[in-house]
């Protein structure tokens, strides 16, 4: 399994013969240059979407159409896009699990919001979610944008994820201190990869606190387009 950070909350995960793009943000991404865009998405087989804020969704429909690949996400939004945009979708809901051609993806709760801008103002688009990705004998918790929540208790106990890809930038999501607290209280990770930080001045710029707070966990600060092999 290779986990490749595309900056901010975006990832490319190569596993089980599939290439999964998680919230791929290319256009306007401050840490992913234009000449890196093709390398970020080449060979993609699925797009996994956690919610519809611009920094997660702006490139989803263009990629789905140009690459002819399905978008995987919350049922209500996938149904709408399937009809209105003519793209392939895999729609399911919290509590459900789908087979992505080998890797299994379970949808779990997140605590955030999920809206997008229209000519008539903000519109809701289903609900924000996270995922548990099960592949190659590993379970990866993809938190998406979220605050800390009590649901993490059963999620950690039931799925027993080895790896956490956790939003940790603060302001819009958990900060490093809260992420460390959640990781210790609710999970037993072997590896933690923080994300949704460093992209903007308003967000946390360092994972030093997370690293110090989790001495028994391999906390990996991701670098853009550098594969983390697990």
Q: Which of 49-63, 88-102, 116-130 has the highest mean pLDDT?
A: 88-102
Write the DSSP string, 4-66.
Answer: EE-STT-EEEEETTEEEEES---TT-TTS-GGGHHHHHTT--EEE-S--SHHHHTTHHHHHHH
**pLDDT reported for residue 31:** 92
> Residue 116 above 80 pLDDT?
no
Least Cα distance to 103 among 145, 70, 135 occurs for: 135
What pLDDT does 128 receive? 93
pLDDT digits (tens, 9 = 90+) for 22-75: 999 999 999 999 999 999 999 999 999 999 888 888 999 999 999 999 999 999
Note the pLDDT of residue 177.
97
User: How sure is the predictor about 120, in pLDDT bands with cuts at 50, 70 and 90?
Assistant: confident
Structure tokens at 208: 């030093």
In the numeric block, which tokens belong to residue 138?
């590993």
Is pLDDT of 4 > 80? yes
Among 133, 140, 116, which residue's Cα sits nearest to residue 72? 133
pTM (predicted TM-score):
0.96
Could you report the per-residue pLDDT of 139-184, keeping only the tens digit for each? 999 999 999 999 999 999 999 999 999 999 999 999 999 999 999 9
pLDDT-based confidence at residue 131 (cuts at 50, 70, 90):
very high
104 within 8 A of 98, measured Cβ to Cβ: yes
| 113 pLDDT above the threshold of 90 | no
Q: Which architecture does CATH list for 2-229?
A: 4-Layer Sandwich (3.60)
What value does the mean pLDDT take over residues 13-30? 97
- Structure confidence at residue 123 as a pLDDT band (50, 70, 90): confident
Mean predicted confidence (pLDDT) in 181-206? 95
pLDDT digits (tens, 9 = 90+) for 74-90: 999 999 999 999 999 99
Please state, rounded to an integer, the average pLDDT across all residues of the chain: 95
Confidence at residue 170, expressed as pLDDT on a 0 to 100 scale: 93
What confidence score (pLDDT) does residue 105 get? Answer: 98
Residue 152's DSSP bridge partners are none
């Amino acid at each position: 399994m290779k986990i490749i950070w595309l900056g901010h909350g975006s990832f490319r995960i190569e596993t089980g013969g599939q290439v999964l793009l998680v919230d791929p943000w290319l256009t306007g991404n401050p840490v992913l240059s234009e000449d890196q865009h093709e390398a970020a998405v080449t060979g993609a087989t699925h797009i996994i979407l956690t919610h519809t804020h611009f920094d997660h969704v702006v490139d989803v429909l263009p990629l789905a159409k140009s690459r002819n690949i399905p978008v995987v996400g919350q049922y209500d939004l996938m149904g709408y896009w399937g009809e209105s945009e003519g793209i392939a979708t895999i729609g399911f809901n919290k509590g459900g699990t789908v087979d992505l051609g080998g890797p299994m993806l379970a949808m779990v709760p997140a605590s955030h919001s999920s809206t997008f801008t229209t000519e008539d103002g903000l519109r809701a688009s289903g609900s924000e979610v996270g995922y548990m990705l099960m592949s190659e004998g590993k379970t990866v918790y993809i938190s998406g944008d979220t605050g800390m929540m009590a649901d993490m208790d059963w999620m950690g106990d039931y799925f027993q994820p080895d790896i956490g890809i956790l939003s940790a930038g603060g302001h819009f999501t958990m900060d490093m201190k809260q992420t460390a607290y959640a990781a210790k209280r609710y999970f037993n990770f072997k590896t933690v990869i923080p994300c949704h930080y460093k992209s903007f001045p308003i967000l946390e710029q360092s994972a030093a606190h997370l690293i110090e707070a989790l001495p028994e966990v391999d906390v990996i600060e991701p670098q853009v387009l550098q594969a983390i092999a697990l």
